Amino acid sequence: MRKTIFLLAALFIGGAAYAQQTNPLLQHEAEITEIIKSMTLEEKVNMLHGKNMFSSAGIERLGIADMEYADGPFGIREEMEPHSWAPLGWETDRATFFPTGSALAATWSPEIAYEYGKGMAIEAKLRGKDMILGPAMNIQRLPTGGRTYEYLSEDPILSGELAVGYTLGSQDMNEAVCLKHFAVNSQENMRGFINAQISERALREIYLTPFEMAVKKANAMGVMAAYNKVWGTWCSENFLLQNTILRNEWGFKGLIISDWGGTHSTIGAAVGGLDVEMPGHTYMGEALADSVRSGAVPMEVIDSHVRNILRVRFAITPVPKDVANTKVTSQPETQAIAYKVASKSIVLLKNDGLLPLKNVKTVAVIGDNATRTMGLGGVGAGVKTLYEVTPLEGLQNALKGKAKIRYARGYEPAPQARWGQQLPANAMEEYAKRMEKLKKEALKAAKGADVVLFIGGDNREVETEGSDRTTIQLPFQQDELLKAIAEVNPNIVAVMVAGAPVDLRTVNPIAKGLVYSWFNGTEGGNALADVLTGKISPSGKLPFTLPVKLEDSPAYALGVYPQTEQGGGDVFVNLVNNRDRQAARRADAEYSEGIFVGYRWYTTKNVKPMYAFGYGLSYVPFQYANLNASVEDETIEVTFDLSNRGQQEADEVAQVYIARPDSKVERPKYELKGFKRVAVQAGQTTKVTISIPKEQLRHWNEFQHAWNVEKGKAVIYVGGSSDNLPLQTSVEL
Ligand code: GLC
């Protein structure tokens, strides 16, 4: 027994020493201690809030550079005025628009996510930035969530592994990431004050796990506190989230910044764990210095915030001001990464033989999204691109000299009244006339074509930060247009350019081919054309469930979303404290579905989706065989054969789901616990091994307030989609 204890102690100390030795944030502790000793209170507090809109101060006296932050998660945002949201209108800041979050997630590849993070880092460095404000990695709880497209997946393991890849790729290029938004920032409606009322188990197992993985497995250097509340406390002053869990339990050593305007107090934020208020200094400027002088905030708290910032500052080499912005941001190397991600993200949902396009002479390309660029939009996540290949341009590139393309816009977005303005009285009447004309032109283009490529879906005004959609219906009367086109030409391939689920009840029976091609970045049009023409086989898999109808999704089915604002605060608080009128507003988000988010809900409640989580077809048939599983020390080793029974090389994303039939607690029917993207040559068979850490089968015990890994049977399912798992075996834990 004594020997065991000694061994465990040695392992623990060794582990801690190894973490200290390997974590780039912990290589300057003694130097930082000396610097802090030399600093005045004013110098310290000066670091703890925004200097400009996207920077916080270093220590000028000591030549320690400012921290430069850069939106957004899928492209380095254009340069802004130092103290406003106004762009500077430069040309050198034209960046690569990388595929958005759900597109990256549709690759199901941490390796591709690594390249993605590397690409983002290369462009951030060219712009002199120290920390990318990404990945955006909240769980996709709502199909209508305004930022569901920015985020990664409805599943914590898939989201976590991709965030780990992105983080390692960026930080290996000496560019810090900032995991956002911590935590449970699942909706845009009332995002400034919505209060997540959520079970401890759902919080831990679903919403925090991706962040935990990126901190523990990739040493993420930054975390952004979310706008919302969790259990009644703002995230930016949530001691439990920021200190107890993030720092003390997970060992996070980096810096925590608020979301922009998401700080709500001085003492609460400083003691609650926030390091930097962004932007401005309402709470963590002079008010904080006063709080230290009065003894309300101990100097140790200030010193800990300064330490966290200096850890990142010393880990990230500043880019000299005379080097930054001397080359255009978007580079061939990063454009190539954007293409690779896009080409591996496209999901083939249906193919009645029209795809890939072969021997077509006349192609009708119809839809506003065939020519619409998607880089800009979505507030902080907008990218001013050097270029963006639209679907039409991609098809023109791929079909040049092979087929004639007829383009018709078919529909256009409805006119929208801008902030505080009214639409002209006849605006909708004029819109109806234009739409009628566009429809006629579309039908003319479709008639007689060998195939119709309908390029529809959403756009970056429909899916955006700041507001949730109220429906997942295709906007702008696309369903009606599709029905009309089908009357004149049944050979339709429908391409959904969207970042979140859309209602496919009209499209699905009409289209003979159906593709999800995402907001797919600077090279999206070329990637789409290469898939449609068969140059590459589609290999993307859905990172979220596509429900038959919105009401089937958990929060809607339980009637807990959308919420109505409660009370709205008293007039006095709203009037007097208008800076923080958010604090007077009230709304609770009841996470009544608990851990049953996404496919966990549909599979367990037997609600059939339109297309399942993890679903995606290929141009080749894949075969799974010879499954074996064994428990080796702390992992479950899963091996099986994967055969490509087709005529071309193709990737398959093999998925492993695990059920615990003897569990003592309520569990989903099964849960994703492992996956691997595998390239298999035509006619070949490859042996696939997926190692699953036993701790990944953990569940949160709400009585012990701790993780448990239950003993007993683990049933292992393997296949190419959560609803197609041909192999099954089991092991005993
Ligand atoms: C926004 C977003 C956040 C972004 C920040 C700076 O409101 O929530 O993701 O990084 O402000 O633009």
Which ligand 1 atom sits closest to the C-alpha of 180? 9
pLDDT of residue 9: 55
Taking a C-beta distance cutoff of 8 angstroms, is the pair 526, 338 a contact?
Answer: no
pLDDT at 16 over 90: no
Mean pLDDT of 117-142: 98
Give the three-class secondary structure for 94.
Answer: coil
pLDDT tens-digit series, residues 182-208: 999 999 999 999 999 999 999 999 999
Q: 381 and 299 share a domain?
A: no
**Under a CB-based contact definition with an 8 Å cutoff, are residues 45 and 51 in contact?**
no
Separation between Cα atoms, residue 146 and residue 166, nearest integer Å: 22
Q: Which letter, b or e, does each residue of 263-287 get, where b requires 16 or more Cβ atoms within 10 Å of its Cβ?
A: bbbbbbbbbbbbbbbbbbbbbbbeb
Report, as an integer, the average pLDDT of 433-451: 98
> Among residues 532, 547, 570, which one ends one of the domains?
532
Distance CA(577)–CA(558), nearest Å, equals 35
Closest atom, ligand 1, to C-alpha of 380: 12
Q: Is residue 267's pLDDT more than 90?
A: yes
- pLDDT of res. 380: 82
Q: Which pLDDT score is estimated for 585?
A: 81
- Non-local (6+) Cβ contacts of 56 within 8 A are 47, 48, 49, 50, 66, 67, 69, 257, 276, 278, 309
Q: What is the CATH number of the domain that holds 226?
A: 3.20.20.300
Q: Which long-range contacts (CB under 8 A, 24 or more apart) does 77-84 make?
A: 77/380, 77/382, 77/383, 77/384, 78/383, 78/384, 79/127, 79/325, 80/53, 80/54, 81/53, 82/52, 82/53, 83/52, 83/53, 84/53
pLDDT at 7 (0 to 100): 57
- Among protein residues, the one with the nearest Cα to ligand 1's atom 8 is 259
Instruction: Give the lowest-confidence range in 18-27, 352-361, 405-414, 616-625.
Output: 18-27
- Regarding whether 306 and 211 lie in a shared domain, the answer is yes
Contact in structure between 646 and 619 (CB atoms under 8 Å): yes
Ligand 1 atom nearest the C-alpha of 77 is 12
- Give the closest residue (by CA) to ligand 1 atom 9: 380
Residue 180 Cα to ligand 1 midpoint, Å, equals 9
Structure tokens at 322: 């005379």
Q: What is the whole-number distance in angstroms between the Cα of residue 181 and the centre of ligand 1?
A: 9
602 confidence band (pLDDT: 50, 70, 90): very high
Contact 89, 485 (CB under 8 A): no
N-term to C-term CA, the chain: 24
| Ligand 1 atom nearest to CA at 466 | 7
**Is residue 538 in a domain?**
no
Distance in Å, CA 330 to ligand 1 centroid: 22
Q: What are phi and psi of 106, to 5 degrees?
A: -70, -15
Q: Choose the final residue of a domain: 490, 505, 532.
A: 532
- Encoded amino acid at 307, one letter: R
| 90, 178, 540 from 384: Cα distances, Å | 10, 21, 26
Kindly report the three-state secondary structure assignment for every residue of 217-234.
HHCCCEEEECCCEECCEE
Q: Which atom of ligand 1 is nearest to the CA of 181?
A: 9
Same domain, 227 and 150: yes
Interatomic CA distance for residues 34 and 267, integer angstroms: 26
Atom of ligand 1 nearest to the CA of 227: 8
Question: What's this model's pTM, rounded to 2 decimal places?
Answer: 0.96
Domain that holds residue 105: 2-83+93-315
Per-residue pLDDT for 43 more than 90? yes
- Give yes or no: residues 261 and 397 share one domain: no
How far is 569 from 585, CA to CA, in rounded Å?
Answer: 5
Query: Rounded to 5 degrees, what angle do the CA atoms 611, 614, 615 make?
Result: 45
Asked if residue 448 is part of any domain, the answer here is: yes
Number of domains in the chain: 3
Same domain, 286 and 390: no
Report CA 413 to chain centroid distance, whole Å: 26
For CA atoms 154, 158, 160, 163, give the dihedral sign: negative
Q: Say whether 356 sits in a helix, a strand or coil.
A: coil
Would the pLDDT of 657 be above 80?
A: yes
Last residue of one domain, picked from the residues 480, 504, 532 = 532
The residue contributing the CA closest to ligand 1 atom 4 is 380
Q: Which residues, including other chains, have CB under 8 Å from residue 665's CB and lie 6 or more apart?
A: 699, 701, 710
For residues 456 and 495, give the distance between their C-alpha atoms in angstroms, rounded to a whole number. Answer: 6
Q: With the CA atoms of 277, 278, 283 and 289 taken in that order, what torsion angle do they form, in degrees rounded to the nearest 10?
A: 60
How would DSSP label each residue in 668-728? Answer: -S-EEEEEEEEEE-TT-EEEEEEEEEGGGG-EEETTTTEEE---SEEEEEEESBTTB--EE
Q: Cβ distance 349 to 516 under 8 Å?
A: yes
Q: Give exposure, 207-235, as e/b (b: 16+ Cβ within 10 Å).
A: bbbbbbbbbbbbbbbbbbbbbbbbeebbb
pLDDT, tens digit, for every residue of 477-523?
Answer: 999 999 999 999 999 999 999 999 999 999 999 999 999 999 999 99
Asked if 297 and 429 sit in the same domain, the reply is no
> What is the CATH classification number for the domain harbouring 387?
3.40.50.1700
Q: State the average pLDDT over residues 152-156.
A: 98
Q: Is the pLDDT of residue 568 over 70?
A: no
18, pLDDT greater than 90: no
Structure token digits, residue 428: 């909708």
Going from the C-alpha of 468 to that of each of 145, 186, 189, 593, 712, the distances in angstroms are: 5, 10, 6, 19, 42
Whether residue 270 sits in one domain with residue 127 = yes
Per-residue confidence band for 378, with pLDDT thresholds at 50, 70 and 90: confident
Atom of ligand 1 nearest to the CA of 226: 8
Question: Residue 232 in contact with residue 36, Cβ under 8 Å?
Answer: no
Q: What separation in Å is there between the alpha carbon of 629 and the centre of ligand 1?
A: 44
- Using only the alpha carbons of the chain, give its radius of gyration: 26
Say how far residue 50 (Cα) sits from the centre of its chain.
Answer: 25
pLDDT of residue 572: 52
| Furthest-apart CA atoms within the chain: distance in Å | 86
* Residue 280 domain flag: yes
Residue 72, preceding peptide bond in cis (omega within 30° of 0): yes
Give the atom of ligand 1 at the shortest distance from the alpha carbon of 185: 8
Q: Output the pLDDT for position 564.
A: 83
Question: pLDDT, tens digit, for every residue of 245-255?
Answer: 999 999 999 99
Q: Of the residues 84, 259, 468, which should be mutated to test ligand 1's pocket, given the most ligand atoms within 8 Å of the CB?
A: 259
617 is a domain residue: no
CA of 160 to the centre of ligand 1 (A): 21
H-assigned helices in 326-470 = 332-343, 391-399, 427-446
3-class SS of residue 618: coil
Which CATH number is 718's domain given? Answer: 2.60.40.10
Q: Does one domain contain both 715 and 631?
A: yes
Checking if the pLDDT of 583 tops 90, the result is no
∠ Cα 79 81 86 (to 5°)? 90
Q: What are phi and psi of 563, to 5 degrees?
A: -100, 165
Query: Same domain, yes or no, for 41 and 111?
Result: yes
Span from the CA of 596 to the centroid of ligand 1 (angstroms) = 28
What percent of the chain clears pLDDT 90, i.e. is strictly above it? 92
How far, in Å, is the centroid of ligand 1 from the Cα of 137? 13
pLDDT at 323 over 70: yes
pLDDT for the residue numbered 10: 55
Q: Give the separation between CA 308 and CA 286, rounded to whole angstroms.
A: 20
Q: 147 with 13, same domain? A: yes
**Contact of 543 with 102, CB cutoff 8 Å:** yes
- Tell me, in angstroms, the distance from the centre of ligand 1 to residue 87's CA: 15
Catalytic residue among 130, 259, 368, 468: 259
Mutate to test the pocket of ligand 1, among 53, 71, 186 (most ligand atoms within 8 A of CB): 71
Does the residue 598 lie in any domain?
A: no
Provide the mean pLDDT of the chain.
Answer: 95
Residue in 465, 468, 582 to alter for ligand 1 test, most ligand atoms within 8 A of Cβ: 465
Nearest CA to ligand 1 atom 5: 260
Q: Which of 64, 43, 46, 42 is nearest to 56 (CA)?
A: 46
Mutate to test the pocket of ligand 1, among 100, 379, 582 (most ligand atoms within 8 A of CB): 379
Residue at 698 is within a domain: yes
Q: Tell me, what amino acid is at 23? A: N
- Examine the domain organization and report whether 293 and 409 are in the same domain: no
User: How would you classify the pairing of strands 635-644 and 685-693?
Assistant: antiparallel
Distance in angstroms (rounded) separating the CA atoms of residues 644 and 651: 9
State in Å: Cα 569 to ligand 1 middle. 25
The pair of structure tokens assigned to 477 is 């009367």
- Cα(218) to centroid of ligand 1, in Å? 23
Instruction: Give the three-state DSSP class for 557.
Output: helix
Q: Which atom of ligand 1 lies nearest, measured to the CA of 71?
A: 10
Nearest-CA residue for ligand 1 atom 12 is 380
For residues 352 and 295, membership in a common domain is answered with no
Residue 259 annotated among the catalytic residues of the structure: yes
The span from the CA of 245 to the CA of 223, in Å, is: 13
Is there a contact between 176 and 221 (Cβ–Cβ < 8 Å)?
A: yes
Contact yes or no for 656/640 (Cβ under 8 A): no
Residues enclosing ligand 1, CB less than 6 A?
A: 71, 133, 180, 259-260, 380
Q: At 306, list the tokens.
A: 């300064």
Three-state SS letters, 164-220:
HHHHHHHHCCCCEEEEEEECCCCCCCCCCCCEEECCHHHHHHHHHHHHHHHHHHHCC
Query: Ligand 1 centre and the CA of 139: distance in Å?
Result: 17
Cβ neighbours around 87 below 10 Å, total: 14
pLDDT for the residue 135: 98
pLDDT digits (tens, 9 = 90+) for 520-566: 999 999 999 999 999 999 999 999 999 999 999 999 999 999 998 87
